[in-house]
Amino acid sequence: MIEFKQINKEFVSKGHRVQALQNVSLTIEDGDIFGIIGFSGAGKSTLLRMVNALETPTDGEVLINGTNINALSHNELRQVRKNIGMVFQSFNLLNSKTVYENVAIPLKLNKVDEATIDKRVKELLAFINLPDKANAYPSQLSGGQKQRVGIARALATKPSILLCDEATSALDPETTEAILQLLQRVNKEFNITVLLVTHEIHVIQEICNRVAVMEHGKVVETGSVLDVFSRPEQSMTKRFVQTVIPEKIPDSIIAELQRDTRHYELIKVRFLGDTVTKHVIYEINRSLPVESNIIFASVNQLQDSALGIFILQVVGEAAAIAQTKQYITDSGLEWQEVTL
């Protein structure tokens, strides 16, 4: 378990004090794929680097399995760091060394014997599906292959925590998808806790089970990906989420609605998980004295669950519309009124 407790971090730049982190408290459970998202300057990379003490807090505590790592001696911290792997945006491979040699670096630094190194490196190259690249140099690899090697190197010492600092930002969409699938395998097959920072919301959507949204050094929203994506509360979170799960009614449909002289209300209904398959809209039209039209719809996959968002134009008398809202509530769904 990783715990950030009331973390503050202050830098001095050109004589000015900069508050990079302000009262950040987060808990990452064992086995999580936990995403921290925010725009540049939000403080997310600074927070990530505190897990392996590459940065230290001005105030607060960073606990790993209950141990305050900033209170450790140099030798004690070295032992903790053996349990933490890190993957970088720019790969950080040594161009003068082969793929095999790059993966072996952490093991050599830990004075592991050659036979064990050989066995471990070959296992990892097979795991990342690059066994034929052992003698290649980084300059001969694609960006995706370089990042696979970076992941293998991070796994060399069999860590229980993997830190990913914008690990897919330098990659094209197809390669990003492959790297995210590899990180999921790392999490599931090795039971490694993955903590990643990114400014790409689709990365969070694709693999994370929990997320924290950061702005100006503060955590403004946190929770399960399903909860945060289905009910974003803060404006920053809404901006991120709406880039992958849009909720905006097209302007052409708004114009048509504004010309509609019938009595109606717009109701946004959220379907989560198993409720996506409920026949609520069909039943509304079949059994209630209203006419409902779907004017916007989207269904998105979040981890192992689906999130559906439907905006309905419900036409009818006020009492009938109220009855419709109650029916939606009784069906176990969330709804809210939408104004143009």
Q: Is 179 exposed, middle or buried (0-12, 13-18, 19+ CB in 10 A)?
A: buried
Helices (H), 110-197: 114-127, 143-155, 173-190
Report, as an integer, the average pLDDT of 7-25: 90
Report, as an integer, the average pLDDT of 57-81: 94
More confident residue, 227 or 181: 181
Angle between helices 143-155 and 173-190 (to 10 degrees): 20
Are the C-beta atoms of residues 211 and 220 closer than 8 Å to each other? Answer: no
pLDDT band at 322 (very low <50, low <70, confident <90, very high): very high
Q: What's the DSSP call for residue 134?
A: T
Report CA-CA distances (Å) from 240 to 2, 155, 212, 321.
25, 31, 12, 32
CATH topology of domain 2-241: Rossmann fold (3.40.50)
Question: Alpha-carbon distance 87 to 187, whole Å?
Answer: 14
Are the C-beta atoms of residues 84 and 161 closer than 8 Å to each other? Answer: yes
pLDDT score for 245: 83
pLDDT score for 87: 96
Report, as an integer, the average pLDDT of 58-82: 94
Q: What's the DSSP call for residue 171?
A: S
Are the C-beta atoms of residues 194 and 34 closer than 8 Å to each other? Answer: yes
**Domain 251-338, CATH class in plain words:** alpha beta
pLDDT score for 151: 97
Question: Alpha-carbon distance 242 to 201, whole Å?
Answer: 9
Count of C-beta atoms within a 10 Å radius of residue 113 = 9
User: Is pLDDT above 90 for 140?
Assistant: yes
Give me the residue label for tokens 């960006």.
143
pLDDT band at 155 (very low <50, low <70, confident <90, very high): very high
Count of C-beta atoms within a 10 Å radius of residue 208 = 26
pLDDT score for 272: 80
User: How do residues 79-132 score in pLDDT, each as one tens digit?
Assistant: 999 999 999 999 999 999 999 999 999 999 999 999 999 999 999 999 999 999
Q: Dig out the tokens for 310 from the structure.
A: 């439907």
pLDDT score for 277: 60
The residue ranges of every structural domain in the chain are: 2-241, 251-338
Q: Is 83 exposed, middle or buried (0-12, 13-18, 19+ CB in 10 A)?
A: middle
User: How do residues 269-286 score in pLDDT, each as one tens digit?
Assistant: 988 876 656 788 889 999
